Amino acid sequence: MEIRKDYLLDRWVILSPKRAKRPHTIKEDLPLKDESCIFCPGNEDKTPKSIIEKPTNNWKIRVFENKYPAVVKGKAFSNITKFTTSVSAYGKHYIMIDTPIHNLHPGDYDLDQWRIWFETLSDIIYEEMSDENIKYVSVFKNHGVEAGASQPHPHTQIISLPIVPTLIKQELEKAKEFYQFNGKCAFCEIIDTEIKNKKRIVFENNKILVICPYAPQQPFEAWIFPKQHIASINLGNKLRDELLDALGKILKAYKQLDVSFNFMLHMLYPRMENPESYHFHIEILPRIEKDAGFEYGTGMNITTVTPEDCAKFLRKFFK
C-alpha cells in the first residue's frame, strides 16, 4: 500500500489493493427504442426545440437546451462582501443526444458517429466562447446510474460558465508554473515519463497515448493524450480520428467491465492564455468506488486496484 500524489494537483490518493473487489454494477438490458423515452426519435415534441440536428432529416445527433438548466443567460451580476461572493449563474446548459438508438453503448459508436459528435461539440464551444461573459465550457458525459445519468439514452452535456472552475484554475496555474520553471509543457512531460515507464500505458501509437494515471481517483481511470502539443480542440482530422478511435476502444472496455463512467474533455478555450503550457486531453472516470466519510472529510480517495494492474487489464482491448 502507498499514498500517491497527482502529477500536478495537490491531490493525494491511497492505493490499497487489499481492499480490492471486482467492478460491478447492475447491468441494464435496454431496448433498441423506448416509446416513453423523451430522447428517442418521434418524441422531439417532449423536449425543448432542437438547436442542431445532423443531418436535418433523420437525425444522427440532436442538440437542445436543457429543460432544467443549471445556468441561464440572464442579467450578469456579482455580489462580493467580506465573507461571501456570488455571481449570476450566467451561461447555457445543452443536451446533445449522441445517437437516435436508445440502447447504443458509447463503446459501440462507429467513427462516423464520433466525428459528428466532435464536430457538433466544437461548434457549440466556439458559439459559447464568442460571448465575452463566458469564461469556460464544461463538456462531460455521465453514463450509467452510478455516474449520475438521469436518462439511460446516450447523451452528452455542455455547460458554459461565467467563471473558470477552481479545479480547472488550479490545473492551469500548476501547468503554467511547471512551464515557467522547466520550459516544457507539464503534460508533454507526463507523456514522456509514462512512455519511459511503460507499466501504465494502455495504448500507444505515433499520435496518441492512453494511460492509467499514476494517482487515479478510481480503478481503471484512463487519460487520452495527443502526443503532439496542442491546447485547443482544433486537432485536425487525422489526429481527431485517432483520438476518437482510442476513446471508443476504452469505452468498449468499460462496457465489458459493465461499469458506469464519466468522461470529461480538458482543453484551452478561446481567450484563455498560455497555450504553450496546457494540453488537450480526455479523462475517463469509471464509477467503481463510492465516496464516503473519509473521501468527503479529507478530499482523498482510496483506490483498490493499482494503475499498473488496470493498464495491464485494459491493454487487451487494444489488440
**Interval 100-138: pLDDT, tens:** 999 999 999 999 999 999 999 999 999 999 999 999 999
Tell me which residue of 46, 63, 48 sits closest to 116, measured CA to CA.
63
CB atoms closer than 10 angstroms to residue 36: 7
Q: How many residues does the chain have?
A: 319
Q: What is the side-by-side order of every strand in the sheet holding 301-303?
A: 2-5, 12-15, 301-303
Residue 93 confidence (pLDDT): 97
Residue 31 confidence (pLDDT): 67
At residue 108, φ and ψ (nearest 5 deg) are -110, 5
Residue 23 confidence (pLDDT): 47
Residue 191 confidence (pLDDT): 98
277 vs 57 pLDDT, higher one:
277
Residue 289 confidence (pLDDT): 87
Q: Band of the pLDDT at 22, cuts 50, 70, 90?
A: very low
76 vs 93 pLDDT, higher one:
93
Cell for 169? 484554475
- pLDDT over 70 at 19, yes or no: no
The predicted model scores a pTM of: 0.92
**Interval 26-58: pLDDT, tens:** 455 556 677 889 999 999 999 999 999 999 889
Contact predicate 211/193, CB 8 Å:
no
Cell for 270? 478561446
- pLDDT over 60 at 21, yes or no: no
Fold of 2-318: HIT family, subunit A (3.30.428)
**Interval 69-80: pLDDT, tens:** 999 998 888 888
- pLDDT over 60 at 20, yes or no: no
- pLDDT over 60 at 25, yes or no: no
- Tell me how far apart the alpha carbons of residues 305 and 248 are, in angstroms, rounded to a whole number: 23
